Amino acid sequence: MSLCVPAIRAMEGQRGEATVESLIGNTPLIRLRRVTQHLSPALQVLVKAEWFNPGGSVKDRPAWNMIRVAEEQGLLTPDKILIDATSGNTGIAYAMIGAARGYRVQLCLPANANAERKRILRAFGAELILTDPREQTDGAIRKVQEIVSADPDRYFYPDQYNNPANWQAHYHGTGVEIWEQTEGQVTHFIAGMGTTGTLMGTGRRLKEYNPSVRLIAVQPDSPFHGLEGLKHLQTALVPGIYDPTVPDEVMEVSTESAHAMARTLVREEGLFVGISAAGAICCALKIAESITSGVVVVLAPDGGSRYISDSLWEEEG
């Protein structure tokens, strides 16, 4: 069976009641107003608010699609342990869906992942295997591969960095939503790169609708950064699903700029976004300042509540 399956709505109960899976997707677009007052009135900057997903992040989309495709292909069965590497959000999505569907979930993640993510993962019943923080998510990936290779029949390894069902979730879901929500007026799409699935899938779909849509990829400006979930591709393991011909432009953002933007957004727009989301919005505003008209859509992977223990929220003075 082809991996290219719709990933917008999940199976509902026999009486039509909602399930956790059925709540994934159809997140709103929120227009930035105060931080864009200096821009042309013919320009809109819209935030795709992925923290409205039931697991709190954009990663609900690919996690569910990878699980569903694996179920359909017989790769994931009740006797297998779902295991993968994560920086946090995909792991939370796996753990949430695993709890709802009765799967045991093990996750490898860097030991320096923040406290909020670890607590959420444990709350859902996930078993955590903490890896060397100096190796970031690359170390977690290597650890999973070591575990699975030692006992392959025991595990289902979605391998989010190399699984086409990751980007296909966005091709069938996120990209379609953005096109419909903007009534086909979107001119630019900006997203950070971790697994790169969001940009690959959404970007391919938007380019099919209109080849003139500009796709901007965002990555940290150095190998050592505080933008959880994002990869500095020049110095990291490059995901197998990444195609460098998809983005029209790659922009870099500093951790400091992302922190400053996160504080600005919560205090001036009432939007409490995550650090990588703030970094992407930094780049979206730079793009918006270089044009006089258009509809700029930037994807915000998660909300700020997952980073509340971060030093950027410490009271000043």
pLDDT for the residue numbered 191: 98
Contacts of 311 (CB under 8 A, 6+ apart): none
Phi, psi (rounded to 5 degrees) for 156: -110, 120
C-alpha span between 153 and 166 (Å, rounded) = 23
Inter-residue contact 191 to 200 (CB < 8 Å): no
Tell me the average pLDDT of the chain: 92
**CA triplet 153, 135, 53: central angle to 5 degrees?**
70
Q: Which residue has the higher pLDDT, 314 or 218?
A: 218
Q: Which pLDDT score, from 0 to 100, does residue 2 have? A: 34
Element (H, E) at 43: strand 43-49
Does the pLDDT at position 9 exceed 50? no
Our CA angle for 133, 64, 198, nearest 5°, is 65
pLDDT of residue 15: 57
The stretch 110-132 carries a mean pLDDT of 93
Mean pLDDT of 106-131: 93
Q: Residue 303 gets which letter from DSSP?
A: B
- Is residue 80 among the annotated active site residues? no
- CA atoms of 28 and 303, how far apart (whole Å): 13
Note the pLDDT of residue 7: 37
Compute the average pLDDT of residues 164-176: 98
In the residue annotation, 222 being an active-site residue is answered as: no
- Average pLDDT in the 55-82 region? 97
Residue 3: pLDDT band by 50, 70, 90 thresholds? very low
pLDDT, average across residues 266-277: 96
DSSP for 122-140, written as a single string = HHTTPEEEEE-GGGHHHHH
Mean pLDDT value of segment 12-18: 62
pTM confidence score? 0.92
Give residues with Cβ within 8 angstroms of 38, minimum separation 6: none
Active-site residue, selected from the candidate residues 48, 57, 59, 118:
59
User: What does the buried/exposed string (b/e) look like for 85-105 if buried means 16 or more CB atoms within 10 Å of the residue's CB?
Assistant: bbbbbbbbbbbbbbbebebbb
Q: Which residue has the higher pLDDT, 129 or 235?
A: 129
Task: For the chain, list the domains and their CATH numbers.
Answer: 21-52+173-313 (3.40.50.1100), 60-156 (3.40.50.1100)
